Chain A
Amino acid sequence: MAISGAAIGLNKHMSPCLAAPRLHPCGRKQFFLKASASSGTSDGTEDGKMTIKKGKDGWKIDFSGEKPATPVLDTINYPAHMKNLSIHDLEQLAAELRAEIVHTVAKIGGHLSASLGVVELTVALHHVFNTPEDRIIWDVGHQAYPHKILTGRRSKMHTIRQTSGLAGFPKRDESVYDAFGAGHSSTSISAGLGMAVGRDLLGKNNNVISVIGDGAMTAGQAYEALNNAGFLDSNLIVILNDNKQVSLPTATLDGPATPVGALSSCLSKLQASPKFRQLREAAKSITKQIGPQAHEVAAKMDEYARGMVNASGSTLFEELGLYYIGPVDGHNVEDLVTIFQKVKRMPAPGPVLIHLVTEKGKGYPPAEAAADKMHGVVKFDPETGKQFKSKSPTLTYTQYFAESLIKEAEFDKKIVAIHAAMGGGTGLNYFQKIFPDRCFDVGIAEQHAVTFAAGLATEGLKPFCAIYSSFLQRGYDQVVHDVDLQKLPVRFAMDRAGLVGADGPTHCGAFDVAYMACLPNMVVMAPSDEAELMHMVATAAAIDDRPSCLRFPRGNGVGAILPPNNKGTPIELGKGRILKEGDRVAILGYGSIVQECLGAAEILKSHNILPTVADARFCKPLDGDLIKRLAKEHEILVTVEEGSIGGFGSHVAHFLSLTGILDGPIKLRSMVLPDRYIDHGSPKDQLEEAGLSAKHICGTVLSLLGRPQEALQLQ
């Protein structure tokens, strides 16, 4: 930098890395009247924490030690405070945001790398656009951490994903800046189009921006929305955040899956051929010649030019009617701000798609290097990225499921597994490692996954669809129409059934018992522990004349004794089992909630009550004999399930009424999830909130026995 003259004046603008102006270690103090790191107050304290600085290759953040000072970020409470920042300040803000996110997630766990990849995008969006009047919709909810920090929730970030804390995804109830709730992907363009059209009908003038990822673009709904957007031609900005993951990086044990389909190569083929360049230049020259007077002709020329030259490189998006801009370096704040400002100023751009290329986990070396890019993490050490995974005596249900499926597949060559971009989440990454040709990742496309499985079943194969309970909702029509109606033997393994803890209601599998058990041909079962899970996988493998499903929760096993060699034995259909013999009171549980029922039995013992505890195992076909026996031999029958109304309890009640038992003296109560959405929190807290813990079951029994006082005294 030229130092001639003006040395004093220059001091203010020297970038921090050149000389050594020391920042005051506690950046919030009064020396910083202006939120700019370049105001080098050479206050000169020796241990100045210069841990975020701009080098030749970009910003370097020092992750060792405490959280670095964040002078610029400290001045931002809401996006309005960002309007006057210079590009340099915005870049520094981005670096500080990164540091903030890494340190916060290191303390409490959560999703990490998705947020790191969109820091610059978030900063640019909030700087250029005026939220909340302008709507920003995040498709991938778990990348909204920087968004939350910049929109007034920085001080609460340490509570994210915890009981009564911030949600891990955007939530309309939480803040006016969260325009739409996300959780299941690929919905942002649809929602954005709705907001854009609503704005047009009301005569308003704000911008609508939908951010969507390349993985979410594998879902059909994104194209349904793009198609409609192109047709309606309303002003809408779609930002395609392409980090080349297509499928979560947890897909295989060795890292991201190679792109799951042709779409991803379409995205990567956005290169121009030499002819394209030449034609474009020629076309441009012609339009320039004509000059501004001939508006219409110029527009027409442009039209033709683009139609011609885009023939070879024309992308799907242009064909659908969106104006394509890109690719753009998604980590260059200056470029992003330029583009957004230009698009914002245009009077009638119509639907525009801006293709950004970003890197997941950017700016945090351990995440960049990790095979799974540290997508979802528990507490970790910021300096090394090493996670503090707690050791549990038992594995997760997911792992037990994967083990038993692998065992079954070893014996039966016809077993194949299908999942929808959740290799890590469903445990099928293990299956893939061992049987790479028999494991299919279809991308975020549950509807296709289900019908694809149905097609496989028609050929005599034995498909296991491992899809989360709440994600299977997306493919429900296919389950009904393509699988159940035709009685095809597709097996559904619904992980994350019931309450799921920190992910909250968007991922909560509350409804699967209801929506599966009402189907005429479906066998519906639920294991109460990991050994039962293995037996049920074997049972499902053996059911070859009709569809079947089994549901299991998030969490670890309870320590049951596993069958030898992890190979389960098929259970007789429609046969439950009694775990504890007793009298007067019967507690009939369905699924893993049986463990809570056993816990309740323990508590009741101290009240001199010995209940019978039974595990129903099957919701369809119901174990009629067991239920009749329980009803006839006990005064009170309580059914418990971790599902909504309309599930197991309803089926039992229906059965009892049909057989006339309900006309008799039996006292029946069904304990189900309450008729509202349970917020995110720890699993224990959620169960308390839902009223399904051992204590609550006890309380129900005691009230029925005419001892309500004791019920109230339970703590």
Chain B
Amino acid sequence: MNAEVISSGHLQLFPPSSNTRHCGSQLPFSGRASTGSIALKPRRRPGALRTTARAAVYAPTQTQAETFYDMLGISETGSISDIKKAYKQLARKYHPDVSPADRTEEYTKRFIEVQEAYETLADPQTRAVYDMNLGRGLHFAFSTGRRNERMDDVEEWKLRWQSQLDELRLWSMHRDNVSSAVRGKAAASPSSSWGSRMRRKRTDIYDLGFM
């Protein structure tokens, strides 16, 4: 599924330790602690395949039960009607009343799983949360109980604002000199915005030794 593709893609591109801050469940391979700063030397790890295999071993969640999307047999970007259709089909197939007599128990279990998958994915909010967990590699059977939802929210928020801060820091270091695509309104490119001009003037004064 997509999540797996991305994760292994990550592993191939750069040292996995820089990934650990954001994908909490994946353990660092090389034992190097992540500081969250930019990796100075990007390199391709030799034996990419081996890496993937290791990932599979060390990131146990990925070899566990299938995702809800797998259960319903649809792609991760399936629309709500896809989900509904798949669910209806599978529900009809696995419903205890219509299951073959000798496999009732297995079918019932399947039915319950399918139902849980449908409940989670049909509600856009829970689906969003589930997808996010998927991105982090935590796609064990997700109980739809809204237990401590708020705490999960706060966790997600923290990751998000941490990355926002990092980006802002990067952005703010170069923005007054860069005449790049402007974010937000296309009024003036950053380097010629009023604020940029004033900031440059101030730093020029500093450079000239006036402060």
Chain A residues close to B by CB (< 8 Å)? 197, 200-201, 203, 205, 230-235, 271-275, 277-278, 280-282, 284-285, 287-292, 295-296, 298-300, 302-304, 306-307, 318-329, 332, 335, 339, 342-343, 346-350, 352, 357
Q: Are B168 and A343 within 8 A (Cβ)?
A: yes
Q: Which residues of B contact A272 (CB under 8 A)?
A: 128, 132, 160
Most buried by A among B125, B161, B164, B173: B161
A278 touches B183 (CB 8 A): no
In the bound complex, CA of A298 to CA of B39 (Å)? 13
User: How far is it, in angstroms, between the C-alpha of A394 and the C-alpha of B83 when the chains are bound?
Assistant: 62
In the complex, are the beta carbons of A274 and B42 less than 8 A apart?
Answer: no
Taken together as a complex, chains A and B put the C-alpha atoms of A5 and B183 apart, in Å, by 56
Q: Are A271 and B128 in contact (CB under 8 A)?
A: yes
A281:B170 contact, CB within 8 angstroms: no
- Using A200-B195, A272-B128, A291-B42 as known contacts, list a sample of 12 further A-B pairs with CB atoms less than 8 Å apart, ordered by residue number in A: A274-B134, A277-B135, A288-B18, A288-B39, A290-B42, A295-B178, A300-B180, A325-B164, A328-B161, A335-B161, A346-B172, A348-B173
Looking at chain A's contact residues, is the secondary structure mostly helix, strand, loop, or mixed? helix
Q: Which B114-147 residues have a C-beta within 8 angstroms of A?
A: 125, 128, 131-132, 134-135
Given known A278-B6, A306-B167, A328-B157, contact A289–B42 (CB-CB < 8 A)? yes
- Which single residue of chain A is at the shortest CB-CB distance from B199? A348
How long is the Cα–Cα vector from A325 to B13 in the complex, in angstroms?
Answer: 28
Considering only CB atoms, which chain B residue lies closest to A321 in the complex?
B184
**Contacting pair A232 B195 (CB below 8 A):** yes
Residue among A233, A287, A289, A304 with most chain B CB within 10 A: A233
Residue contact B14 to A285, C-beta cutoff 8 Å: yes
B193 touches A288 (CB 8 A): no
Closest B residue, CB atoms, query A277: B135
User: Which of B40, B169, B171, B177 has the most chain A CB atoms closer than 10 A to its own CB?
Assistant: B171
Given the contacts A285-B13, A323-B171, A346-B172, A232 and B193 also touching, CB distance less than 8 Å = yes
Picked from A201, A231, A291, A300, the residue with its CB within 8 Å of the CB of B188 is A231
A201 CA to B205 CA in the complex, in Å?
13
Is B190 in contact with chain A by the CB < 8 A criterion? yes
Q: Is B185 an interface residue (CB 8 A)?
A: yes
A317 to chain B, nearest CB (A): 9
| Interface pair B38/A325, CB less than 8 Å apart | no
Question: Out of B172, B177, B185, B205, which one reaches A321, CB within 8 Å?
Answer: B185
Shortest distance from the beta carbon of A98 to any chain B beta carbon, whole Å = 20
Minimum CB–CB distance for B165 against chain A, Å: 5
Distance in angstroms from B74 CB to nearest chain A CB is 14
A625 to chain B, nearest CB (A): 61
Cross-chain contact B187 with A348 (CB below 8 angstroms) = no
Given the known interface contacts A272-B160, A278-B2, A339-B161, the answer about A350 and B132 at a Cβ–Cβ threshold of 8 Å is no
The interface residues of chain A lying within 8 Å CB-to-CB of B184 are 230, 318-322
**Known contacts A291-B40, A320-B185, A343-B168; is-contact A348 B176 (Cβ 8 Å):** yes
CA distance A567 to B174 in the complex (A): 69
Chain B contact residues, majority secondary structure = helix
The answer for the CA separation of A54 and B193 in the assembled complex, in Å, is 48
Q: Is B104 an interface residue (CB 8 A)?
A: no
B66 to chain A, nearest CB (A): 17
Cross-chain contact of B131 among A274, A347, A357 (Cβ < 8 A): A274
Are B185 and A280 touching (Cβ within 8 A)? no
Taking a contact as CB atoms under 8 Å apart, the answer to whether A203 and B180 are in contact is no
B163 within 8 A of A: yes
A350 near B195 (CB under 8 angstroms)? yes
Is B76 on the interface with A (CB-CB < 8 A)? Answer: yes
Q: How far apart are the CA atoms of A521 and B176 in the complex, in Å?
A: 55
A-B CB contact pairs (8 Å), 25 listed: A201-B198, A230-B187, A233-B196, A273-B131, A274-B128, A274-B131, A278-B135, A282-B6, A285-B14, A288-B39, A291-B38, A291-B39, A298-B170, A299-B170, A302-B167, A306-B167, A323-B164, A326-B161, A335-B158, A339-B161, A346-B169, A346-B172, A347-B173, A347-B199, A350-B195
Residue numbers in A under 8 Å from B198 (CB-CB): 200-201, 234
Q: Are A299 and B194 in contact (CB under 8 A)?
A: no
How long is the Cα–Cα vector from A562 to B106 in the complex, in angstroms? 76
Q: In the complex, what residues of A have CB within 8 A of residue B77's CB?
A: 274-275
B181 at the interface (CB under 8 A from A): yes
A318 near B172: Cβ-Cβ < 8 Å: no
- The reply to whether B128 and A273 form a contact with Cβ atoms under 8 Å apart is yes
What are the residues of chain B within 8 A of A321 when measuring CB–CB? 183-185, 187
A280: chain B residues at CB < 8 Å are 163
Does B101 lie at the interface of the complex (its beta carbon under 8 Å from any beta carbon of A)? Answer: no
The 9 closest A-B pairs by CB, nearest first: A233-B195, A274-B131, A233-B193, A321-B184, A200-B198, A234-B195, A289-B42, A299-B174, A346-B172
- Residues A348 and B196 in contact, CB atoms below 8 Å apart: yes
A194 to chain B, nearest CB (A): 13
- Whether the Cβ atoms of A306 and B183 lie closer than 8 Å is yes
Q: Is the CB–CB distance between A234 and B183 below 8 Å?
A: no
- Give chain A nearest CB distance to B183 CB in angstroms: 6
A207 to chain B, nearest CB (A): 14
Q: Which residue of A lies closest to B174 (CB)?
A: A299
Q: How far is the CA of A697 from the CA of B157 in the complex (A)?
A: 63
Residue of A nearest to B6 (CB): A278
- Chain A residues positioned under 8 Å from B39 (CB to CB): 288, 291
Contact at A299–B187, with CB atoms within 8 Å? no
Tell me which residues across on chain A come within 8 A of B168, comparing CB atoms: 323, 325, 343, 346, 349, 352
Of A231, A289, A348, which is within 8 A of B14 by CB? A289
A277→B22 CA distance, assembly (Å): 11
The verdict on A300 contacting B178 (CB below 8 Å), with A201-B198, A288-B38, A291-B40 known, is: yes
Chain A nearest CB from B88 CB (Å) reads 24
User: Are A231 and B187 in contact (CB-based, < 8 A)?
Assistant: yes
Q: Is B95 located at the chain interface by the 8 A CB criterion?
A: no
B59 to chain A, nearest CB (A): 15
Q: How far is the CA of A284 from the CA of B168 in the complex (A)?
A: 13
Give every chain A residue within 8 A of B190 (Cβ-Cβ).
233, 350
Check if A324 sits within 8 Å of B18, measured CB to CB.
no
Question: Out of A197, A292, A348, which one reaches B172, CB within 8 Å?
Answer: A348
- Of chain A, the residue at the smallest CB distance from B203 is A347
Cross-chain contact of B157 among A200, A203, A235, A327 (Cβ < 8 A):
A327
Which single residue of chain A is at the shortest CB-CB distance from B210?
A203
- From A200, A203, A329, contact of B205 by CB (8 A): A203
Give the residue among B22, B157, B187 with the most A Cβ atoms within 10 A: B157
Q: Which residue of B lies closest to A199 (CB)?
A: B198
Distance in angstroms between the alpha carbons of A288 and B37 in the assembled complex: 9
- Alpha-carbon distance A233/B180, docked complex (angstroms): 15
Asked if A303 and B181 sit within 8 Å, CB to CB, the answer is yes
B169 and A342 contact, CB distance less than 8 A: yes
Whether the pair B157, A299 counts as a contact (CB closer than 8 A) is no
A296 touches B161 (CB 8 A): no
CB <8 Å contact, B13 and A289: yes
Q: What chain B residues lie within 8 Å of A291 (beta carbons)? A: 38-42
Question: Is B202's beta carbon under 8 Å from chain A?
Answer: yes
How many angstroms between the C-alpha atoms of A332 and B40 in the bound complex? Answer: 33
A342–B184 Cα gap in the complex (Å)? 22
A285 neighbours in B (Cβ, 8 Å): 10, 13-14
Give the distance to chain A from B108, nearest Cβ to Cβ, in Å. Answer: 30
CB neighbours (8 Å) of A319 from chain B are 184-185
Inter-chain contacts of B134 with A (CB < 8 A)? 274
Q: List the B side residues contacting A287 at CB < 8 Å.
A: 38, 170
Measured CB to CB, the closest approach of chain A to B163, in angstroms, equals 7
